[in-house]
Amino acid sequence: MDTPYGEIPERFVKDMSAQEMHDYLKQRYSRRGLLKGAAALGALAAAGPVFWRRSYADASALGSPTGPQWIALGPDPSSEMYISWSAGAYQTAANVPAPKVRWGLTRQYGRTQWASSELVPTPTNAPAGNTDLTAYQHTLLDGLEPDTTYHYSVSNDGVTWGPDTTFRTGKRGVVDFRFCATGDEDTYTTSSAPIMQSIASFDPDFTIVAGDLSYASDDGTYKGIGIPQAYTPSAWDDYFGLLGPNAAQSIPWMVGMGNHDVEPLTDNGFAGILTRFPHLGANAATAGSGSKVVQSFSYGNVAIIGLDDSDVSALDTVNNGYTGGRQTRWLIEQLRKYRDPRSGVDFIVVFFHHCPYCSGGPCSDGGDRYAWQPIFDHFDVDLVINGHNHLYERVYPMRNNVVQAHVPPGGTIMPAVQGTTYICTGGGGAGLAASATSGWYGPSGGGGLATTGTGTPLLEVWGHQTARGGSGGTSSEPDPVTGWSAYRRGQYCHLVVDVTAPTFWGGMTSMHIRAIDPAQSGSTITSITSEAVMDDVTLVRRSVTGPARGHHGRPGGLRGRAQRKKSAMVGAKGTSMRNRDGRPGG
């Protein structure tokens, strides 16, 4: 018997229940194989707890309309792409008898591929209304050509298809490229959606998100199978309803975990995020980390590592020590691999949720700082991106908890000599935690009135901290490390990072980081065509590699994605943008 997830020998089928079929396939085939699918859904659509909980699916009827779509880079960004979409809603079951993607170089497509369909596993004692009946479909397209635009369309039944959409595969080799970063997105049409639109206007190769996506979970204290409190699964429908059309149906969205993404579910509260985002938990590079929500990949001459700091955080302790130190050991191995000159990697970017250094909103996370800052120092990590605090703040380059250089906006940093730059970009749409005049502690090198904060920055610490997590309770203490805030503003914002490849083997390579500040008033972004660069720095290294053959040009030019007509928007190639002080934004 053929199923979308593999074959069951006919001699077994007649004596097997749907649950037994599910268990057989789950044991025989890998999750990656399940994602790819193979043949007809058939009789297995009737039951099963994880991969086809489809009691409502009727293969004889047309499928439900397709919902929002989002994509993510596959393990090889130049040849693989995850395609995802939703159907139904959190309390409205969908009919998904034959989920498929058709794709190709034109609107005629030419290829069709099965997708898997999953529901978020529901705890047995969940109260009514706290279950998510939205169906999530995924497939991994592979064998793609690098730096190539593909058309795709999705269907729940193989008959009725969604609109034509495009994506572009990743570049191959050491080339110029652009990525964006944000955090703490939420579901506000007045702030979250405009940030997504702003990011799309810069046409990045991908976007990384430092956690706190939909805010379906009120905080990170409700993990495991228990009575959900302040859990609103409908927030995911709202989130994808904004995210897909505004950005992520064509821009790979590489999300990480935040405390508001830990839900009252299994897998340490990660079962929901793993169901919705297939790039998490599916990458062979994460083996041995003890966590299903970390990630590691390289793009051009940059390595990107996404961590789950709920393992060591002193600010949100629900998953304290859950990997038993394995995540930290995995981090060391990843950094060792990427710092090998033969890796072709020059810059290393690490992102996770809580801030090792922040002088606004909550406070700095001493758990993260204690566990990982010495490791970042040892391996010369170039850039650490965080969220959690709903604001923007850049830290002077640090090494061994000491400021190495006072670099103003527009300045240049040599990470190999001057250390790691830490940036909080938590202004992705959720309510701001600080303003221009309040919510800040201690002085800063820039950011207008925010330079005159009151009191002393605080550091949340464990009574006893190790690389395996903390013990002895937590407390907020005056931060013993001072003077590290370089620039801060209580603004909605995101980062745009332009990477310039070396022009010859062993030449100089750079990473220009801009903090983008859309026009805004209070809790509302009023325009994304009146954006400014409120802060920027350039990281420079001597490369261990060389440019790809035939490489020319600068990153970031618009690439003709049919469904996003952004050529008139600020940040597109050829438009003008200026810094707060009037300097060209480049």
pLDDT over 60 (residue 11): no
Find residue 141's DSSP bridge partners: 81
Give the residues across from 95 on adjacent strands.
none
Q: What is the mean pLDDT of the chain?
A: 84
Confidence check: pLDDT of 249 > 90: yes
Instruction: Tell me the pLDDT tens digit for each residue of 395-419.
Output: 999 999 999 999 999 999 999 999 9
- The first and second tokens of residue 257, run together, are 């975990």
Rounded to the nearest 10°, the torsion over CA 400, 405, 409, 413 is -80
pLDDT value at position 320?
92
Checking if the pLDDT of 296 tops 50, the result is yes
Query: What structural domains does the chain harbor?
Result: 2-166 (2.60.40.380), 171-211+293-542 (3.60.21.10)
Task: Give the pLDDT confidence score for residue 466 in this predicted structure.
Answer: 77
User: Phi, psi at residue 364, to the nearest 5°?
Assistant: -70, 150
Of 171, 198, 190, whose CA–CA distance to 425 is shortest?
A: 198
Q: What is the mean pLDDT of residues 466-480?
A: 85
pLDDT digits (tens, 9 = 90+) for 412-442: 999 999 999 999 999 999 999 887 667 888 8
Q: What is the pLDDT of residues 298-341, one digit of tens each?
A: 999 999 999 999 999 999 988 999 999 999 999 999 999 999 99
Strand ranges in 332-386 using DSSP code E only, listed in sequence order: 347-351, 364-365, 383-386
User: Has residue 454 got a pLDDT over 80?
Assistant: no
Predicted TM-score (pTM) of this structure: 0.85
CB 201 within 8 A of CB 566: yes
Residues β-bridged to residue 269: none
In this prediction, what percent of the chain has a pLDDT beyond 90?
64
Whether 290 shows a pLDDT value over 60: the answer reads yes
pLDDT given for residue 78 in this prediction:
97
pLDDT digits (tens, 9 = 90+) for 75-132: 999 999 999 999 999 888 899 999 999 999 999 999 999 999 999 987 766 666 678 8
For tokens 């997830």, the residue is 5
Instruction: Classify 395 as helix, strand or coil.
Output: strand
| pLDDT over 70 (residue 28) | no
Asked if pLDDT for residue 582 goes beyond 80, the answer is no
537-550 residue pLDDT tens: 999 999 999 887 65
Mean pLDDT of 205-213: 97
Q: What residues pair up with 32 in beta bridges, in sequence order?
A: none
Q: Give the tens place of pLDDT for each residue, 366-393.
A: 999 999 999 999 999 999 999 999 999 9
Residue 34 has pLDDT above 60, yes or no: no
pLDDT value of position 577: 44
The H-or-E segment that residue 177 falls in is strand 177-182
Residue 499: what pLDDT? Answer: 98
Number of H helices, E strands in the chain: 9, 29
**pLDDT given at position 221:** 45
DSSP letters spanning 275-328 = HH-TTTT--GGGTTSS-SS-EEEEETTEEEEE--GGGT-SS--TTTTTTTTHHH
- The pLDDT of residue 130 is 73
* CA gap 32, 130 in Å, rounded: 29
Q: Any idea which residue has 């950005």 for tokens?
A: 247
Return the closest-CA partner of residue 409 out of 527, 542, 582. 582
The token duo for 581 is 């002080």
The whole-number average pLDDT for the span 144-156 is 98
* Predicted local distance difference test score (pLDDT) of residue 468: 78
**How far, in Å, CA of 570 to CA of 180, rounded?**
15
Q: Is the pLDDT of residue 24 over 80?
A: no
In the chain, what percentage of residues exceed pLDDT 70?
78
Res 19 pLDDT > 60: no
Work out the pLDDT band at 4, boundaries 50, 70, 90: very low
Q: At what angle do helices 192-201 and 234-243 cross, to 10 degrees?
A: 30
Query: Which pLDDT score, from 0 to 100, does residue 472 have?
Result: 81
Closest C-alpha to 171, from 298, 282, 66, 288: 298
pLDDT at position 453? 74
Question: Measuring CA to CA, which residue among 324, 268, 313, 318 is closest to residue 293?
Answer: 268
Q: 499-538 pLDDT, tens per residue? A: 999 999 999 999 999 999 999 998 999 999 988 999 999 9
Terminal alpha carbon distance of the chain:
59
Q: Is pLDDT at 26 greater than 80 in this prediction? A: no
Predicted local distance difference test score (pLDDT) of residue 195: 98
Whether the per-residue pLDDT at 576 is higher than 90: the answer is no
Length of the chain as a residue count: 586
